[in-house]
Structure 1
Amino acid sequence: MSQGPTTYRSSASQHSQHSRSISQFLQDETTDEELIQLVAEAKHQVRLLNIENEILEKAIMRLDPTLMQGVSQALELAAKLQSNSSLNIGSFAKSQTSKFGFFDQSNPSRIIVSPSRISTRRVESSAKLGGTAFGTGPRVNIIEKAELVSTEMEIVIANLDKTKRNAARKHGLLRAQLEEVGLRMTEMENAEKMFHNDVIVEGWDKIAQRIPAEIWIRFMTEWVKICDSQIGKLRLRTSTLNTQHSKLKGQIKVKAELSESLRAVDFEKLKIENSECMKLIEKKLQQLGELKKMTGDANLNLTIHKKAMMAQNSYLTNVLKSIKMKEQQTVQLDKERDVIAAQADSLAEKLDEVRKVRMAYEVPDIMDYVHVKANLADLKHSIKMLENRLHIQQIALASLNRKLNAILVKEMEEK
């Protein structure tokens, strides 16, 4: 528990060592690059010391806060000594600017050093004064520092995990609230659209120029029914979720009780049971592999027989198609046979009639034929003569009609 004052002693001793390194630096010739590098190293050491002091302060405040009572006074004393040492270094640098360099008036804390050697006895004395203020007591070794850092890291990681869990819980709650708000917004938008369509647009009475109260009441009753149905569904869902939550809570409680009552023997028993189950699973897997082989052989035989059956089915379909085609052809041939039979019967009847006519036909006498032909020629001559007379009479009738028309026209003109 004595690590708090020891920390500040180590920091003071490191500060004295750093002042000695500065004095040694001022005694030698240095360049600007080396000076910048030394300043960077000093800043890095200061940063590391600040981190170590923070870790040690947290460890002390966690273990025993009473040890930090005199630390503030020690820090104030160290700050005063550091300011005194810096003032001594500044006065010494101002006194030495006439010999070895010059003082920058724009930045009083900066000294432009010449390449020559500089005497720094007052700086060493001030550094020694700062080192003797705290003494050189026991320091915190690397192992203890590593332990402190590891404990602080564990605490920080635990706090970070706790913060992550809380953040995840809050994030889930906020996401659920956002989903609830989104559902409410969609429901409100749907209700607004339904109200606008059912009441304002469709319920508007053009004759009375108003919305009837019956439409409003009907809309509200229907909306209440819809809300009641949704409330019933939500209640049912809530009851199921509550039952699931209680079931899961009971399972978690049982598991917690079992985890408290478990012993090493139970784990050994479980390991033995798991090994036996693994052996049984391996055996079943081997049987499954054999069954898969048998199934593959059966599937191969099935595919072969299936292909043969498909070929037989295709041949059977072709045979059935040919049978149907032959039946249609036989029906058509039967029809043609009936038609041909009817034609044969009619031709047979005609043949019988022709035979009867032929049997009853007698060849006339030649002289009768000559007389008939002569009479026919006389008749044709007489017909021709009559046609000529008819043509002549038609011409005469046409001339008489023309004359009659001319006479009638003259009479009409004279009248």
Structure 2
Amino acid sequence: IVVWLLQARGRSKSTLHRMTGQAVEQKHELAEQELTEVKDEIQRMKEDSEQTLQNLEAVIEEADIWGADVKKAIRDFEKDISTISSKRWRDPASDSLLGYMEEKNCQRDLLREKLCSKNCLLRGYKKKLQQQLLQKEQLGETIREVHLQQLQVRNALHQEEMAKKNQELMQLKVTSGKIVQVFNFYQRRLQDTMETSTSLMKNISQRKELLEKIEREAALVEEQRAKAEIFNQQLQMQLSDYRVPSVLTYVQKKMAVADLEKSLKAWERKVAVAQMSLQSCRRAWNKIKMSGNQH
């Protein structure tokens, strides 16, 4: 029994060491399975002991019946011998019979003593088995109480661990919620930035087209201005070589000069407007590039 308990305790310790790295539910199931195995083992030992006791009781009962039969036969035989001994006469045959019967009587006495000794031994063995069975039952109750206490302690530890895990889970859920909120915020911000970037790219494209158009117009105005200057120089040269024309020619030339001066002033105004528009577009372009670099 002690060896079995030590082995069971060793198995229990090894099982507990294996249970350390497992989940709470698996630990609880293994503990219940181990307790069930211990209970089954105690029940099997109890059944075996009861069967042994029944066999011993049957042997003792048979020995008691046999001893009673022997005692009855001895009493009958002694009664017959006393009857024969009370007679006056004897013969050799009766003496031989008496000797034979006395020998058988001695053998029966020895057998009776042997059976009595065996009966005493069997009764002592029965008492010993009953004590062992009682000890096993008490030991089983003790083991069950110990296992129950261990299970209660483990259950309390597991409940505490589960509470900690639940608290950690709640904290993780709260953290996850905050992370989701931050993610949604930055996602909306990214979407707004993408929309702003798309709008800026569209605006930049429009400004580029406008700048190209202004540059083309500025180039055209510059070309026309250059032509006007050349024409003006030619007019200046003509004026330097001027001779008094006729009145009609003078009037015509004067009108042509006035028209040319008006055209020159108009073109100068166009060039000034184009230059101002070009500078404004360049400033807008620089601002767009700076804002694009910041994003």
Q: Do these two structures clear the TM 0.5 threshold for a shared fold by scoring above it?
A: no
Q: TM-score, normalized by length of structure 2?
A: 0.27
**Which structure's relative contact order is higher, taking Cα pairs within 8 Å and 6+ residues apart?**
2
Structure with bigger helix share is: 2
TM-score by length of 1: 0.21
